[in-house]
Copies of this chain bind each other. A is one copy, B any other.
């Protein structure tokens, strides 16, 4: 990193909420995430110098664009600060963080507010599935297709089966772990869905097929939610640390990051990677870039991972792409219990996109906030003991845009 970028904290809305049913809109959601983030960090609105919004498709779900324009409506203290909205499908939140960090690294600003946001429960499931199709090549991969994304990530599973072999039990175990973890997270969407950890996952509605090899339990949720973050330069972080009776070294930073984009079409991706050891080589490269920038030798240098698990197949992919196993051998660490809460390298202690929820534009910022909570010992019931560093992996489209980070002290 050319200049350090600190994470001072933030706020996640309760992902179990349905904002339309509460009579609230995306502007209210922005407002609650922002005011919650200011409260959590003890920062005053007038200290914020710039704001970035991560959002996938409020135009479709909420008939509203130009979300950056709402900051000054939320709080007059924001009037005049520069704002913008950033989008890379399900990686929109991370891309917003990347842009905020770039402006801090460039020396433009010392304190940035980032909000990832998505209100999705405004439409029926079929319409929502169709809207999500615009994260793929809509005309070629989604138009007229029922639930295009489960199909695409089912095909990711098919590709694993073809190249390395893949057993359904390992995907089911990924789902089980995420749902189980979510029960410890007081802001997870599914925290109250099961009376015991495994109920209904292997039979009943959660085992019903959705598309291709994927069942209901393999899919992340349709979620309303927002997550705010405050990012700071070294100058602001030092003042802030002093205010809180801390040293700047105690504040978490973005220690490394990777950002790569593959071709849009899943077919193009698979054709391109056919001779690569990795099914999504650009996702692998983003992870390699991240650890190189963080000057860390490998994934075992972090104490936990918050990964994209829009489907169980994407987490299965993340496991070998992070280097927990050789390519195609993700099943080994699943069987060994490595990725479970309490395991050697827990994945998605939060519950991930399957258990915690997946408000598309807020997922990257939610991952970063959970990383912040873990490395500052504020994750409560889902705290991983002795955590200094957490890796995140946020993916847009069918493996198209990847942003990875290592956050820690």
Residues of A contacting B: mostly: mixed
Which residues of chain B are within 8 angstroms of A261 by Cβ–Cβ distance?
A: 51, 68-69, 71-72, 78, 80-83
A80 to B268, Cβ gap below 8 A? Answer: no
Instruction: Give the bracket for the number of chain A residues in contact with chain B.
Output: 35 or more
Chain B: CB-nearest residue to A400: B69
Scan residues 54-97 of chain A and give those whose CB is less than 8 A from a CB of chain B: 56-57, 59-60, 63-66, 68-73, 76, 78-89, 95
- Asked whether any CB of chain B lies closer than 8 Å to the CB of A262, the reply is yes
CB proximity of A93 to chain B, nearest CB, Å: 12
A285 within 8 Å of B (CB atoms):
yes
Q: Is the CB of A87 within 8 A of B84?
A: yes
Copies of this chain, count = 2
Task: Name the residue of chain B whose CB is nearest to the CB of A96.
Answer: B84
- Report if A263 contacts B (CB, 8 A): yes
Q: What 0/1 pattern do residues 274 to 316 of A give for CB contact below 8 A with B?
A: 0000000110010000000000000000000000000000000
Instruction: Select which of B51, B65, B71 is within 8 A of A87 by beta carbon.
Output: B65
Q: Closest CB of chain B to A394's CB: distance in Å? A: 12
Instruction: Check: A169 CB closer than 8 A to any chain B CB.
Output: no
Task: Please give the residue numbers on chain A whose beta carbons come within 8 Å of chain B beta carbons, in ascending order.
Answer: 2-3, 25, 27, 51, 56-57, 59-60, 63-66, 68-73, 76, 78-89, 95, 98-99, 101-103, 105-108, 134-139, 143, 259-265, 268, 272, 281-282, 285, 396-397, 400-401
